[in-house]
Amino acid sequence: MCGIFCSVVNNVPVNSFNIPSALKVILKNRGPDVQDEVVIDYGFGKILFAGFVLWQQGESVQKQPVVEDDFIFLFNGDIYNTSKPEYMSDTSWIAERLAECRCEEQNILKTLKRLEGPHCLIIYDKREQILYFSRDALGRNSLLIERTRNGFQLLSTSHIEDKKISLELPSLGLFRVKLNDLNSCVLYPWQPLNDYSAQLLRNLDLAIGWKTAVESPILPDWILNCNPAFSYNFYEFQYIKNDVNLFKKLIDQPEIKDTLSIIHTLLSDSIKNRVRNMAPFCRLCMPKLNISPPCRHAKLCILFSGGLDCTILALLANQFVPVNEPIELINVAFESVKGQNISEKLWDVPDRKTSLVSVNELKQLCPERCWDLLEVNVTRLELQQHLISRIKHLIYPLDTVLDESLGCAFWFASHCTHSTARVALIGSGADELFGGYTRYRNSFKRCLGNDLEHQLAVQNELERDWQRISARNLSRDDRIIADTGKTARSPFIEENFVKFIRSLEVYQKCCFGFPEGVGDKLLLRLYGYQIGLRDVVFLKKRAIQFGSRIANKKQNGAHQSDYL
């Protein structure tokens, strides 16, 4: 994970053109291993490029920005499913591909079309004075855009200040701006715009003050629809009160068994890529480098509520981490507030209890592994101090009570002082893909139509959430977790996995004719059972803000936070 920064400014004195010190601290937290800056003239003003690198791939750290004869390149992310040599970093490999493009726009588009993995990038064509910038189509990594007094800037994360307009750059495609005309922009969308994405583009134009023309879509191969030949329907199976017998019966169905086999292959590959592609040093040993004997501390952690999603990630990750290295399971609990159940032990919150049950399952299934459960306990005073001094800047420009609760939970978990890991696996996307939220069940119940209309109601709710997942969760979580020098990786949100799961019908993923803790995310629960999990597959879904006790259920998550 890196912090990248690009500022385009007209008519600015050289000695006043720099990154504000508070912002530089935040960017350096994301990329503590090496930093560099480059300032160039472009005729009407100046551009400042800065890179703050967290080394994760390649034999050695790659400094940024990458400056070549024809272009300047900034990159933040991970690229998977390519033929890249192991000794090369993603940044240097993409820079080589861009050099082969010779700044020909169609060649650049072809190069970006082949990239898979969470990323955002900035490319400056020196000759034509054109700035290109984009986020991957799933919007997993943060890139903000801000309107400033004399221009605009792109940056991984920001710092709250007056007199600027900030928003998350929509993950719509590749943007192109000619620096001699900052009133217009061109977008090559990843896929044709729908009503929601068209509104995001209008919001961007209004905020930044330019007009965007939309060109033909790029259409990466994984975005194109696929139609698996499965006809099973969970609603055709009668509910059996013995959940174990029900799961065994469903798993024995040939088509369901085939579906679970594909899930296993795709999810295992996703986790393998995200676990094996990291630097060979932990947080403590990184400053020493070339140490002997090799670092055997934990390099991987899982933000661990003890729920279904993170426990599946932990069990699968076990296959790909050297057996003599621990895997950290980080669980966070917050001090109770008025209105919550204060009769329970101070840190005995629901997610703490669940984590203890689930870690015992992992120990039984993988007794050779050192599972290091790290318990993070946060007082209300600590929460308020860090929220005001640091976390609110990372959440910015988002500002709701829900953003505050989730942002703080992830920040304290990833900031665990006893953690040595530099990669954090998170379960983002599982609920949106498999139907895990209570609102999906509610949409099913509220529908008064026939069976088809019930399924359509749930499908519409799933689709709405999937379109919004980047703006509601992924960008914020990236900014929060990266602040602690960790790279957040989301194995469920992988191109091929997403393509397959979203190709299934809604009645092939969840079944709201079955009770809570069974029918929601039913397909993922069956997969968990198939790979050996028993207790966790029957747990009811619990949101982290309530499971960790950071939030009160009486609060409205959509309301604006008093602290942001």
Residue 344's domain is classified under what CATH number?
Answer: 3.40.50.620
Helix (H, G, I), strand (E, B) or coil at 347: coil
Please tell me the distance from the alpha carbon of residue 354 to that of residue 377, in angstroms, as a whole number. Answer: 15
Structure tokens at 445: 């119940």
Residue in 2, 6, 120, 301 annotated catalytic: 2
Co-location of 511 and 421 in the same domain: yes
Please tell me the distance from the alpha carbon of residue 449 to that of residue 462, in angstroms, as a whole number. Answer: 18
Residue 506 lies in a domain: yes
Co-location of 346 and 485 in the same domain: yes
Structure tokens at 1: 């994970």
State the pLDDT at residue 224.
78
Co-location of 257 and 205 in the same domain: no
**Residue located via tokens 């998350």:** 168
Helix (H, G, I), strand (E, B) or coil at 302: strand
How many domains does the chain contain in total?
2
**Residue located via tokens 């990594």:** 141
Co-location of 199 and 269 in the same domain: no
β-strand pairing of 327-334 with 300-303 = parallel
301 is an active site residue: no
Q: Which residues contact 382 (CB under 8 A, 6 or more apart)?
A: none
State the pLDDT at residue 287.
79
Co-location of 259 and 195 in the same domain: no
Residue type, 221: D
Residue 366 lies in a domain: yes
Residue 230 lies in a domain: no
β-strand pairing of 487-489 with 45-53 = unpaired
What sign has the CA pseudo-torsion 492, 495, 496, 498?
positive
> Does residue 300 contact residue 278 with C-beta atoms inside 8 Å?
yes
Residue 556 lies in a domain: no
Co-location of 200 and 268 in the same domain: no
State the pLDDT at residue 209.
94
Residue 372 lies in a domain: yes
Co-location of 177 and 129 in the same domain: yes
Helix (H, G, I), strand (E, B) or coil at 203: helix
Please tell me the distance from the alpha carbon of residue 303 to that of residue 324, in angstroms, as a whole number. Answer: 21
State the pLDDT at residue 347.
83
Residue 231 lies in a domain: no
When computed from its CA atoms, the radius of gyration of the chain, rounded to whole angstroms, is: 23
> Does residue 111 contact residue 63 with C-beta atoms inside 8 Å?
no
Co-location of 124 and 253 in the same domain: no
Alpha helices (runs of H) in 190-286, residue ranges in sequence order = 195-208, 243-251, 254-276
Co-location of 90 and 155 in the same domain: yes
> Does residue 227 contact residue 500 with C-beta atoms inside 8 Å?
no
Q: How far is CA 210 from CA 146, 178, 181, in A?
A: 12, 12, 9
**560 alpha-carbon distance from chain centroid:** 23
Please tell me the distance from the alpha carbon of residue 295 to that of residue 272, in angstroms, as a whole number. Answer: 20
Residue 227 lies in a domain: no
Please tell me the distance from the alpha carbon of residue 379 to that of residue 333, in angstroms, as a whole number. Answer: 9
Structure tokens at 56: 């994760």
**390 alpha-carbon distance from chain centroid:** 20
**Residue located via tokens 């499913």:** 81
pLDDT in tens, the chain (564 residues): 789 999 999 876 655 678 999 999 999 999 999 999 999 988 888 999 999 999 888 888 899 999 988 999 999 999 999 888 888 999 999 999 999 988 889 999 999 999 999 999 999 999 999 999 999 999 999 999 999 888 899 999 999 987 788 999 999 999 999 999 999 999 999 999 999 999 999 999 999 999 999 999 999 989 877 777 799 999 999 999 999 999 999 999 999 999 999 999 999 999 999 999 998 889 888 877 666 678 899 999 999 999 999 999 999 999 999 999 999 999 999 987 654 545 456 788 889 999 999 999 999 999 999 999 999 999 989 999 999 999 999 999 999 999 999 999 999 999 999 999 999 999 999 999 999 999 999 999 999 999 999 999 999 999 999 999 999 999 999 999 999 999 999 999 999 999 999 999 999 999 999 999 999 999 999 999 999 999 999 998 877 777 677 876 667 667 787 777
Residue 224 lies in a domain: no
**113 alpha-carbon distance from chain centroid:** 20
Please tell me the distance from the alpha carbon of residue 152 to that of residue 162, in angstroms, as a whole number. Answer: 15
Q: Which domain holds residue 54?
A: 2-214
State the pLDDT at residue 374.
97
Co-location of 259 and 164 in the same domain: no
Structure tokens at 449: 């139509």
Assign residue 104 the CATH number of its domain.
3.60.20.10
Structure tokens at 231: 């006809």
